[in-house]
Amino acid sequence: MNDAALVSCHDGRVRCAWCAGNADLTSYHDTEWGFPVADDYQLFEKLCLEGFQAGLSWLTILRKRDAFRRAFAGFDFVKVARFKTQHVDRMLADASIVRHRGKIESAIGNAARTKSLVDEFGSMASYLWRYEPHSHRTPPTTVSSPEAHALSKDLKRRGWTFVGPTTIYAFMQAMGLVNDHAPGCVVRPRAERACRVFRRP
C-alpha cells in the first residue's frame, strides 16, 4: 500500500486513497497502519498475514483476521511452532481462513524461526527494528526499499518463507518502521508523533 494519492472521505477528512470507501480499511488505516509496534506476537501475526495475503487483497485478509487468530492460537509463536500435521489438516478444512497448505506450513515453520530470533536477539522486535530506515521519508514510488530487501534476504537466510521484499515492505509500512501515510493524510501527523515517542526495542 504505497499509493500516495489522497481522497476526501465521507467524514470530510483527507486520507490515503487506498482506504477510501470501506469502513474496515478506513478503521485499519486510522488506528493501526503506520503506527510503531514492538510486541512480538503482533509482529509475528503481521508477518504471517502478509504471507497469506500474497495474491489476495489486504481487505480479504483483514476480514478473516479474527478467524486466523483462532486458528493460529492467537499467533503465539511458541504454540504455533508445536503444530503438527493434524493442525494443518484442521486448518485446511476451515473455510473461515485462507486454505493454502504452503502458506499454513510456512507460518508454522516461521514460528519456530521466530523462537530462534528471540533466543538470539532477546525479542523479535529487537531484530526487526534494526532494519528501520534512518529517515522516515515521503512515500516511495516503488513497493520495496533497500531495508526491505536486506531484511527479506536475512530472513530467507535464516530459513523463513513467504518473506519476499514486497511482502516485507508491506509489513514495514504496517508496523510503523516506515511512515507511508501520504503527505496531507490526516493520520500522517499522528503516526509521526507515535514514531517520535516510540521506544525502540
Task: Give the residues of the chain that fall short of pLDDT 50.
Answer: 2-3, 138
Q: What is the pTM of this model?
A: 0.92
**Residue recorded with cell 489438516:** 89
Instruction: Tell me which fold the domain 6-197 belongs to.
Output: Endonuclease III; domain 1 (1.10.340)
> Which residue in 15, 8, 10 sits closest to 30, CA to CA?
15
Going from N- to C-terminal start, the domains of the chain cover 6-197
Query: pLDDT digits over 161-198, tens only?
Result: 999 999 999 999 999 999 999 999 999 999 999 999 99
Residue 65 DSSP SS3: helix
Instruction: Determine the pLDDT at residue 3.
Output: 46
Query: Active-site positions?
Result: 28, 50, 58
User: How far is Cα of residue 198 from the mean position of the Cα atoms in its chain?
Assistant: 18
Q: How far apart are the C-alpha atoms of 29 and 190, rounded to whole Å?
A: 12
How confident is the model at residue 2, as a pLDDT? 46
Write down the pLDDT at residue 21: 85
- Report d(CA 140, CA 12) in Å as an integer: 26
pLDDT in tens, 30-50: 999 999 999 999 999 999 999
Q: What are residue 15's DSSP bridge partners?
A: 7
Q: CA 102, CA 107: separation in Å to the nearest integer?
A: 9
Distance of CA 116 to the CA centre of its chain: 19
Question: Looking at residue 87, what is its pLDDT?
Answer: 97
